[in-house]
Structure 1
Amino acid sequence: MGITSKEINTAFGAEVAAIPGGEHLNRCFSCGACSGVCPVSQAIPEFDPRKIIHMVRMGLKDKLLGSDILWYCSKCRSCIFVCPQDVRFTDIMTTLRTIALQQGYVTTQDLLDKGKAAWVERDQCAACLTCVRICPWRIPKIDDSGVARIDPTLCRACGICVAECPAQAITLNQSQDEQLVAACGR
């Protein structure tokens, strides 16, 4: 089982590298330090940062962007601390997620339904800022209308904001990914 020429998009690597967050892609020389330290890779062997970068470089756009593998990265940033080339793999993952959403490989609703991102029920949000203050990654933001908003490309689906929201305005569906749930020991 090989890769056919129809599966290869030769411009994909350049497309990713041209977007903020993807500019470090070409620094990678595939040493594997990121894969060795990645906690997700330890739990789910199919998730391999080095392999993902290789797929981008090979031009396997449809295969990569259409896969749930993009949404496994916990963005713990462990890979960044061990990379001798200062490749920002978590930034590359955010770029890939953004492309996947923008180009229709996945919809925000797909992510919400699969438990890959939390969302705010706008009519219930009290704009108390609890989610903004409690999120260790500063993902929830207050939009121009004064209501909290969570960017699905950045959300780690950890559930902290859901547990802490006094208005119970934030929802996170249980993950439907059997492999991910099994890796978490549930």
Structure 2
Amino acid sequence: MIRSDQMDRRFIEEVMAEPGGEHLLTCWSCGTCAATCLVRRFNPAFNPRLILHKAGLGLREAVLSSAEIWACSACDACYPRCPQGIHISQVMRAIRNVAIRAGYEAPGPIAQVDANRCSGCAVCTRICPYEAIERASQNIDGQERVIARVDRNLCQACGLCVAACPSGAMSLEALNDAELLTRMAAGGWLEHAGFLQGASTTPRLLAFVCQWSVRAEDEWQRIQALNDEHLRVVILPCSGRVEPAHILLALSKGVDGVLVMGCHEGECHYQRGTYLGRGKVALLNEMMAQMGIARERVRFVESSALERRIFEERLALMREAILALRPALEIPAR
């Protein structure tokens, strides 16, 4: 039961005074946003309808102390569906701004910077879709240097900065390079030769799958069940997290093909991840062509919530394309 002494009108005014927070009280609490929200599949406790409802009642402590106010990634899937036209991610941003002033911090995980490796090139600041990274002066071993600094209250742990960093200074608490390589190689999977090496009659494929590109739970279960000696599925926070180095490593270890699956352009949960992931694969394809490596061995595909079994279909097409290649080793195995 909500007591009257828990309701703080000043909190409502604070939120509404923030840019984007002015529409707080126009919310009907219909729940359309919660039904649309993609975050809820990974974090069922996150409920934008409930957060806005509590904020509209002035429940300052209940709202600001909740870890869920930091979970919105501003994908804006809910925005066009809201019958009141509320830009919910902006209201959530307004609530977070009030929380920051009150001394609260996002729980993480976030991207991290290795100060000794960062060159201050600012690639990460330009690529971050949330403007969560800035360059700042810091004293390192007695020397004043300008390096990247991550604002934990803005970072959404998409990993785009990690994949883009030319010096390898960025890492992700939830999925650093070591963890990613562990997932790729678990059970000695990378140690087996493939079809193009004449060691198998079935192509061995590695798939990097964006966690947002498949929405239905039964689809995820079906994809996970496909893992076997000929297929390894690695889940990424975003297709933009994939790095060409990971793909080339897999090919050099005997993997016949690498499939990267992300959201459709314009539907990317992290705004520009699909653009970056697809672009990296396209550039890698050009490099592979110059090195005499068949383009068919690395592909980028897009998927949406309305497309069922797209993963299996694209895998089948890729296997057919690789089977059509002459069984000659194109990258020496190590």
TM-score, length-scaled by structure 2:
0.45
In 2, distance between residues paired with 1:99 and 1:121? Answer: 30
**Paired position in structure 2 for 1:8:** 7
* SS in structure 1 at match of 2:50: helix
Root mean square deviation, CA, Å:
2.9
The whole-number CA distance in structure 1 between the counterparts of 2:29 and 2:66 is 21
Q: Does the aligned pair in 2 maintain the 1:94–1:154 contact within 8 Å?
A: no
Counting only pairs closer than 5 Å after superposition, residues 163-182 of structure 1 correspond to structure 2 as 163-174=163-174
> Which residue pairs with 1:135 in the alignment?
128
- How far apart in 1 are the matches of 2:20 and 2:112? 24
Distance 1:60 1:116 in 2: 26
Q: Show the counterpart of 1:38.
A: 37
Q: AA paired with 1:29?
A: W
5+ residue gaps in structure 2? 138-144, 176-216, 222-234, 236-334
Cα separation, 2, equivalents of 1:86 and 1:116: 31
The corresponding residue for 1:125 is 118
**Cα distance per residue 1:39-63 (max 9 Å; x no partner):** 1234433211111110001111111
Larger RCO: 1 or 2 (CA < 8 Å, sep 6+): 1
Q: Any runs of at least 4 consecutive aligned residues in structure 1 with deviations exceeding 4 A, and if so which?
A: 143-146, 183-186
* Inter-partner Cα distance in structure 1 for 2:40 and 2:160: 23
Aligned runs of 1:72-83 on 2, under 5 Å? 72-83=71-82
Find the counterpart in structure 2 of residue 162 from structure 1: 162
How many residues end up aligned between the 2 structures? 172
Based on CA coordinates, which of the two structures has the bigger radius of gyration? 2
Structure 1 spans left out of the alignment, 5+ residues:
176-182
* 3-state SS in 2 of match to 1:78: coil
**In 2 relative to 1, CA 173–43 (structure 1 residues): closer, same or farther, beyond 3 Å?**
closer
Shift of 1:31: 2.7
- Whole-angstrom CA distance in 1 between matches of 2:109 and 2:23: 25
Q: Percent identity?
A: 38
* Cα offset, 1:143, TM superposition: 5.0
**Going by fraction, where is strand more abundant, 1 or 2?**
2
Residues 108, 152 of structure 2: 8 Å contact kept: no
Deviation larger for 123-132 or 28-37: 123-132
CA drift of 1:146 comes to 4.9
| Cα separation, partners in 2 of 1:134 and 1:19, compared to 1, 3 Å | closer
1:147 is paired with a residue whose SS is strand
2-structure distance, mates of 1:54, 1:43: 22
1:25 deviation in Å?
1.4
Q: Does the Cα contact within 8 Å between 1:71 and 1:116 map onto a contact in 2?
A: no
